Amino acid sequence: MADRYDVTRHPEGQYQAGSNGMVLRNKLGITDSVRMEELEFDLLVRLQEQLLEDIETTQMITADALCD
């Protein structure tokens, strides 16, 4: 059975050369899935830390604030 949605021509369906179909194509040329997972995790932690620095405990979160 063929996939319901064909994404072969979209970034979601393109894998990094040398990754054996394990890592999506990326600008950094990362082919190791463990390295990619570590990088993504580190960037997520940095983002969360930045958000915690920017948001005050008394601050009301609004759609406008999220878009800034």
Number of Cβ within a 10 Å radius of residue 23: 20
Give the closest residue to 28 by CA, choosing from 41, 17, 42.
17
Which residue type, as a one-letter code, is found at position 34?
V
What pLDDT, on a 0 to 100 scale, did the predictor assign at position 1?
47
- The mean pLDDT of 1-17, rounded to a whole number, is 79
- The mean pLDDT of 13-20, rounded to a whole number, is 93
Q: Give the model confidence (pLDDT) of 24-67 as tens digits.
A: 999 999 999 999 999 999 999 999 999 888 877 788 888 987 78
What pLDDT, on a 0 to 100 scale, did the predictor assign at position 3?
67
